[in-house]
Amino acid sequence: MKAYFRLKAGVAGIACLALAACDYAGFGPGPRASPPPALDIPAVPTPKSAAAMAYYAQVQATLLREGLLRSDPGSEIPVTPEVLAQNFLKVALFDEYRRDATGFVPEETESRLRRWVVPIRVSVRFGPSVPADRQGTDRARIASLIDRLSRVTGHPMTMDEGNPNFFIQIVSEDEREALEPTIRSVLPGLSAGDVAGITRMPKSTYCMVYALSEGNTGGYTRAFAVIRAEHPDLLRLSCMHEELAQGLGLPNDSHEARPSIFNDDEEFALLTDQDELMLRMLYSPELHPGMSVTEARPLLLPLARRLLGGET
């Protein structure tokens, strides 16, 4: 119910490729980005936003009644090296969507390993509908999560409103529909269909992130995430955890991954112990961006054994 899309930035003129999105030029650690234009929307609740707020409150309540959206790390669920290696393979080296002429289509597709190759600088922007106290809570939670993810992966991550390359927008229904100028200022090569995928996001999609890599290298350099401002507290925090983690290079969901947020059963709302292990695997020196399934597979079990304290 959450969405992740991968975009590749390459030389201008390269056509859209199967298994990926269009290739765009100019997404490197280049000059300082201009701030996205402000949303010109009055800070007044609208019927559309009020309806969304009621809907997602009901979604969260239903999931909690069913024993889902767990906020514990799942420590009681055993994870063997074999299970960890297989789950990592599915989550890191397969995509949840494929690209065709109509846009993104839900279909698991073999891909390559992706991760960031530049320091991550995160900016959090809010729509005018988000109250100041809510903004403060969201920003503090994201800052804490960024610190945790940086420690887990060993990759530099900071909050940076001046020169960001990982953009997070927390916006209401009406504000998201007006995001096109902001999206195009951050991702200027995005197609009209891709922009519409954000501005017309279906209510079954709770949040989403676009991540961009350079050509076929698998090296991420920019990301753009959208979280619904109407979400109640736990669903909102769940989106922060999943979209930031997916934006680091864990794009797929697997029904076999447990305990994990990378599973559409919604059992876990927040990053689990196994999720942290997969992030450590992703940024381990044994692996590198661009690796295929065939290249990565023989390295995963020894790596999983080492991380779990077993045999090397």
Residue (of 19, 23, 22) closest to 95 by Cα position: 19
Residue (of 19, 92, 58, 43) closest to 296 by Cα position: 92
- Report how far residue 257's alpha carbon sits from residue 54's, in angstroms, rounded to the nearest whole number: 30
pLDDT given at position 190: 80
Which residue type occupies 73? Answer: P
pLDDT given at position 44: 61
Domains of the chain: 3-28+47-307 (3.40.390.10)
pLDDT given at position 194: 87
- Kindly write down the DSSP assignment for every residue of the chain, as one continuous string: --EEEEEEE-STTPPP-TTS--EES--SS-SPPPPPPPP---SS--HHHHHHHHHHHHHHHHHHHTT-SB-S--TTS---HHHHHHHHHHHHSEEEEEEETTEEEEEEEE-B--EESS-EEEEEEE-TTS-HHHHHHHHHHHHHHHHHHHHHH---EEE-SSS-SEEEEEE-HHHHHT-HHHHHHHSTT--HHHHHHHHT--TT--EEEEEEEETTS-EEEEEEEEEETT--HHHHHHHHHHHHHHHHH-----TT--S-SSSTT--BSS--HHHHHHHHHHTSTT--TT-BHHHHHHHHHHHHHHHTT---
- Residues in the chain with pLDDT values less than 50: 6-42, 312
Q: For residue 85, which phi and psi values (nearest 5 degrees)?
A: -60, -45
pLDDT digits (tens, 9 = 90+) for 280-291: 999 999 999 999
Count of CA atoms in the C-beta half-sphere (13 A) of 257: 29
The pTM of the full predicted model, rounded to 2 decimals, is 0.85
Query: Both tokens of residue 216?
Result: 């076929």
Work out the angle between the directed axes of helices 81-92 and 273-282 (0-180°, nearest 10).
70
